[in-house]
Amino acid sequence: MITPDAKGLYHPASNDDISTLIQYAIQNKLQVRVRGAAQSVNAAVVTDAGNNINLQLDQLRTVVFNDAAMQVTVGAGCNLGVDPYDPSETSKLENSFFEQLNQHGWAIANVPDAIHQTVAGFISTGSSGPSIQHSFDECIVAITLIDGTGTLHTLNKSDNLNDPFYAVGTSMGLLGIITSVTLQCIPAFNIIGSQSTTKITDCAYDFLGNGGDGKPSLQQMMSSTEYTRMLWWPFATVQRVITWQGHIMQPSDYNEHTGTPQHFTPQPYKPVFKTVDGSALPMQAAAAEGYKLIATWPAWLHAITGNSPVEPVIETITETVAPYLYPLMLNMFFACDSDKNPPQQFWDNWLGSLPMDRVEFSNNLFNMCYTEIWVTADKTQELMSTFQQHYQDGGFAATWVYCVEVLGAKASNFWMSPGYQQNSVRISIMWWVDNPVQPLNYYQQFWDLLYQKNIPFRLHWGKYLPPAASSQGPAYLQQQYPQWNNFMALRKQMDPDNLFLTTYWKTQLGITV
């Protein structure tokens, strides 16, 4: 049997290796979990402490093309893009899924912001790209996994929505270890789009309202735009939004600037951070340090001044002027559009400008965590106005200094997808990991808000979830998923020894064994 590396990770090279590890785990009553790109909450990824088995599937990176069917089968450990923090140090551009797909002349229509994730990790948590018109889940035609008995299964897409195929797609690693995914592809395409930074009142759409006076509502804009994402700063003296939007280029989009489809001249998306000597990292680092100082205020002041009598005076002055200084700081990085700073226009190959982690924020610099709230799209305006009112009423305790990301997602037929059978609007709420206030203590106000306002919501499974003892714990979550009981019954069948069931998942899903 294979042994773990110095970091405690097992690296199976075949289905047989995985089956052997599972049999060993059964015999020794151990847990088994898989580390993808570790983008989820840590407790959702790894086993409980102890002599358990944590896998990394970096040796399962094969990409096999079926030209006749225009389908591709991808090893579960293959990263969508490059993972610069891969502990095995084997993630490269040339072995990334999207790069190989693009080189083959193919694409997937739904492309997420962050592509350093593994393909299995991406689908297992219910992730999605920023589109109500395109779905990654719809592209999945087969999933191969090894269950908790060591048995290999290949589940194929079916017209029967009660088929177990629809359980394993978004399964949090609780039904088995996915070893490969087969996807239906489309020809590679070009995109064209724009990015604007405006006050909320100056958006080309009605960000908070129901639309009118020639402006569509936010829901209408997201539904009619192929790809779009927004960063919203709800801080009282800021109230601005960055709107990124694009679509697949049509014949009428090509002109003397873009060139023809055969002789295309890309103008790639440029990151919001200005470049210094060709790199955005210096400006990212400066912004990250500024945010860190704000997020950890006034702890670092205490460390510097101790119990100095001037400390309260400094705090009072700083907190008085901060609302006026903060917009000036943002203007250094995210200035509103003007004649001198017009909205950005871009056109590019799909892989060049759809994923943001190729050009935007470094996870090592922006040490953020998230909760991602999914609400049915027809409640978009109610959701946004509810959040806006809460931000206004709660002030700094509600907004802090962070932005929230607003996106859409197309409905999914996977039973435990947060988008199960409903188009959704998603609000991803950011929090600085180094902030002395714990993320759960900050996020609870938003979960409580929607619960009290009777706005049903679901959550991205890889990000922060409400505490099990809260009103939005397992009993609430169960009400949001019509196939919950069927999923739990299948979990028992496919994992009779509870190899994949950690304390975290027992608690968050209310599972008793």
Residue 396 has a pLDDT of 86
Record the tokens describing residue 110, joined without a space. 């739904």
Record the tokens describing residue 494, joined without a space. 């496919």
Q: Which residue has the higher pLDDT, 291 or 512?
A: 512
The packing angle between helices 380-394 and 439-452, to 10°, is 120
- Burial (CB count within 10 angstroms: exposed 0-12, middle 13-18, buried 19+), residue 305: middle
Residue 274 has a pLDDT of 61
114/374 Cα distance (integer angstroms): 18
* Cis upstream peptide for 298 (omega within 30°): yes
Record the tokens describing residue 404, joined without a space. 């929230």
pLDDT of 398 higher than 50 = yes
Band the pLDDT of 142: cuts 50, 70, 90. very high
Indicate the residue type of 435.
Answer: N
pLDDT digits (tens, 9 = 90+) for 43-70: 999 999 999 999 999 999 999 999 999 9
Residue 72 has a pLDDT of 98
Record the tokens describing residue 257, joined without a space. 């600037």
Q: Beta strands 53-56 and 9-10: pairing type?
A: parallel
Residue 362 has a pLDDT of 47
pLDDT of 79 higher than 50 = yes
Residue 316 has a pLDDT of 65
326/235 Cα distance (integer angstroms): 9
Residue 359 has a pLDDT of 47
pLDDT digits (tens, 9 = 90+) for 316-353: 656 666 677 778 778 877 899 999 999 999 999 999 99
pLDDT of 284 higher than 70 = no
Residue 356 has a pLDDT of 77
Residue 434 has a pLDDT of 77
Question: CA torsion angle for 361, 362, 363, 366 (degrees, to 10)?
Answer: -70
Flag whether the pTM goes above 0.85. yes
pLDDT of 441 higher than 90 = yes
Give 200's DSSP letter: G
Per-domain residue ranges for the chain?
A: 1-189+385-513, 281-333
Residue 311 has a pLDDT of 63
* Stretch 423-436: mean pLDDT: 90
pLDDT digits (tens, 9 = 90+) for 459-504: 999 999 999 999 999 999 999 999 999 999 999 999 999 999 999 9
Residue 360 has a pLDDT of 45
Record the tokens describing residue 236, joined without a space. 């009282």
pLDDT of 299 higher than 90 = no
* DSSP run (H or E) holding 107: strand 106-107
Alpha helices (H) in 246-310, listed in sequence order? 281-295, 299-305
Q: What DSSP string runs through 7-73? A: TSEE---SHHHHHHHHHHHHHHT--EEEESSS-S-HHHHSPPSSS-EEEE-TT---EEEETTTTEEE
pLDDT digits (tens, 9 = 90+) for 107-124: 999 998 889 999 999 999
pLDDT of 507 higher than 70 = yes
Band the pLDDT of 368: cuts 50, 70, 90. confident
Q: What DSSP string runs through 129-196? A: -SBSS--HHHHEEEEEEE-TTS-EEEEE--S-TTSTHHHHTT-TTSS-EEEEEEEE-EE--EEEEEEE
Name the percent of the chain in helix, strand, coil, to the closest 5. Answer: 30, 20, 45
Residue 37 has a pLDDT of 87
Domain 1-189+385-513 annotated CATH 3.40.50.300: no
* Stretch 80-100: mean pLDDT: 94
